[in-house]
Structure 1
Amino acid sequence: MLHPRRSAQTVLLCDLCETVNLQSHCELCNVHLCKDCVEEHLSDSSKKHNVVSFLHRKSTPTYSRCPTHADKHSELYCEECDVPVCSTCVSKKHRGHNLCDVLEKFSSKKESLQKDLEELESRIYPRYEEMASDVQTEKSELETNYGKLTTAADQQEVLHREITAIVNQRKSDIQEMKNKHMAALDKNTDEITQRITELRKIIEDLKKTLNTKDVSLTSTYKSRNGEFRQLLPKVRVTLPSFSPSKINKDQLNKMFGSLSPLSINTEQGYTMKSAEAVSSPPVKPLLDEPRVTATIDTGYYYLYSVSCLRKDQVWTRGENKTMKLLNLQSKLLTSIQTKSGDTPRDIAVTRDGDLVYTDDSNNTVNLIKNKKIQTVITLQGWRPDYVCCTAGNDLLVTMDSDDDKQSKVVRYTGSTEKQSIQFDDQGRPLYSSGGYIKYLSENRNLDICVADHSASAVVVVNQSGKLRFRYTGHPSNTEQSFDPRGITTDSQSHILTADIDNHRIHILDQDGQFLRYIHCDLSYPFGLCVDIRDNLFVAEYDTAKVKKIQYL
């Protein structure tokens, strides 16, 4: 405040009399006092004042002036109205409302801001950068892919002048599709870039707000994290294919071949889980000594798979065509035979409690609802192997080509293929080829985990299909080879995989770091599953028994 007689100098005056230079400070009320006003201020015995020398005052947040009563500070916070208030407001407009100390609210708001900042910087912003990178990768491959189409069209130019016009038309169509494809990706890039710019601005503003001591700024802060958790829709473009045919002069245009239409679809953007939902499940530490709590005799000669229906019921599959539902007392509750009469390749239970099985004898994936079998997927040129149901109720299926030269993981929503995962960023196969065992499971963080028996590795990719890591056994184990079969995940995002020839289960964290083994006198553990209470069920290959194990 400027002294009226010393306008060229800044003088700090007492907040009460506003005429005498201040000397003291009340930390409770956050007011500056002169020597004469200290005694008057302390006369209010309703508060435990703490008056100190002004030079020794603590650095405290600045109380804002009440917008309604300019001579008052907003020392309280109305929880119902979500605004700072002064003592006069409390006795009038906010009578009977839930109130708290404004500094306590200031502290909790700061914590909320800090959490939002951490989520934006560590989870949401990197995910948008990853999406932008995915689109750039697709754009960089666009020239090569469309070049192959143009080359295929060129190879059909065998009648020279007679078909030049048709060839040029095909090229024109391809160019137009390419332009539309690029335009769709450019639009997607612009939308993502705009979101990234907004996120940078929000992050910058949050950092500034966190560094301020102005209660009014923090109290008016409204989080937009929920808005940005809803990621932008991802553009899915089905690359057109060129279908050449033999040239017939009489039906030249018809026989020349056809170019499939360009398909540009926008998938519904999914909502990222909040940082709390992803990173803060109830903590369940690993037991030092896991223990078997139940043993189920399935009656098979060999046992391959187990899938939990409820905490006390499991579906099993063995060496014959019959799939069995058993309880913990080994009682047979239901049995169903495959439609083909052949042995099922794998089984899984959907979130609705229905059974799914793959049948590589007729290349189908089948759903059993109310004991009736529906074929939901029929493959051409590929054989289905192992299957799991995701948190979003999709199906993930490992499959091999008929010539045993390729393997991939495909995501289905109902009967519709939504995603194919086959190669890494360098174009190398992610999985070993051939009709070998590849059990799979979706982790809590939406990673896709495949136990690739032939490669002696657990291969983990993220939700977009990018390789995160490969686990090839504990580094200290140099004598016994890692032989993975079944795989499952739990509520703590642990990855558990059966090491059959070594008669044990490996437990990894979500980043592939080895944690410990489960032994429990296991004999050739094969299939695995975890129920909703994190009990592990292990299908023993040679004893045909299922062991229920508590390990958390």
Structure 2
Amino acid sequence: MLCVHQSASMASTQGQDVVVCQLCPNPVEHHCNLCHVDLCSPCTLKHLADKTNRHEIVEFINRKEGPVLPECDTHKKNRCEMYCRECCKPTCALCVTTTHKKHDFTDIGEIIENKKQQIFADMTELENVIVPKYRNLTPAFPSAEFDKAITAIQDQEDRICNLARGIGSKLRNEVTKLKRKSEQEYKEFQTLAMKTEIELNKIIQSNNEVIKADDATAIVSYKSRNEKFRDGIKKSDLSCPNFVPVLVKENQILDMFGKLQLQYSIISDKQRNALQLMETPVYLKEIQSPYGNRSELLRITCEGTGKLWVSGNNGTINQIDWDGSILKSINLSRNAVGLSLNVQQELVFFEGWDDTIVFKYENNSVMTLLELSNWQPRGLCHTVNGNLLVSMRSVVDARSRVVRYSGSTECQVIENDKRGKPLFSVHSPAVLLLTENGNGDICIADYTGNVVVVVNSSGILRFRYGGNKITRKKNKTFEPLHIVNDKKCHILIHNQFNNNVHIIDSDGNFIRYIGYLCDGGISVDTDHNLVVGESVTGKIRIIKYLE
């Protein structure tokens, strides 16, 4: 039984509170150095009864300061007083000569002290730098903006309803006028019929009197009046109105009504600013697409991260995952040479070079979205607010343009600059692939013109990029084919001539090249990775170039 030295072990001094046992309210007398528990005498015996751990009981005033050392995984009940740098784990004294023999060791106290310093430094940063950022970052919830949108929707609903009621009212008034006119004509017809009947009765009576009188003079002078009345009264052409309603479709109302436009959030802006170009891009993954054996890969567009839509020169479009497994497949009569996903992640595409139709893949079926008549689509791109941009070239005369659609309604045409000169090459059937940048600019890869044309959202020319000026003499040919943008508002351009990617900023300044084969299409996924396809092999590579 332990000796209890009351005067020595009682942890109390004059003017100070008594330190109590951690297991009961009694004053503390002892301390377990291995468990770091303050104990009174009765609780000390209870503590020693726990045989699952080693114990080292000392008087409270002789307690060891410091953290509880971990128990060795290999040599049970031994405390780890050393740290193996090679294995990055705590070890006991026996490990030094056995399982960790000849490894690089240090005293665990040094490691603990360094970690404490790191914790203190982190706490200082958290308290003084990081937490104030979150404390001060308390933007009010934009309830008014939501209410404003709801009010605008209600106002538009009222306007359309009022227009419909106005049209209905005009039609009802017109029918009412026709009804009154017809009623008047009908009354006049009835009056005339009655008068005529009276006149006819008088004629009949007169004829009867002639016969009864048997007067030769009256009979000889008789003239028939039947011819006048034989055809009856000419009926008025009364016509009753018949309203023929037009079939009202929801899509028509939606195109007329308008759509919601979602704005970029502050978080997206912060993420955009945090991303930086890596000095050396990193190859992450290779995917074998369904193409590359007897067919070639033509186009790629990412559906978030982990899914891709791809098309080839065998008349198919396939949705695949990052393992290359086919999730969906669309069989076409011709090759799909333009792909885009709308905000609902629905696929929009066109096929062939002489077609004038833009298609939409919805509910596992292909439907016509746009009929362009005398124009042939050459590129597709959906904007952040849900509009569809279609680049096109004319069938008959030599013209090229970009048209913005809201639903199926044409709402903007971009064709000429301020001087009336064409913005894009003409007299060519070549593609005009395009993308919308994060700042609202529209970027068009004019393959025939050997230039990338960038206009703002109003269609005003901002700049043209014809390749890197520094290396232009060495690499004379610039043939921009595929084009995408990223969260940094960089423009990534595939140069078909050299089969590499030019990265330029939103003002047209060259930044760098990325040298991966990408003639089978390029895209950017939601993790900001560049996705490039190799046409002949059908291989798709995921490249990390931002961090």
Which TM-score applies when normalising by structure 2? 0.50
Which TM-score applies when normalising by structure 1? 0.49
Structure with max Cα Rg: 2
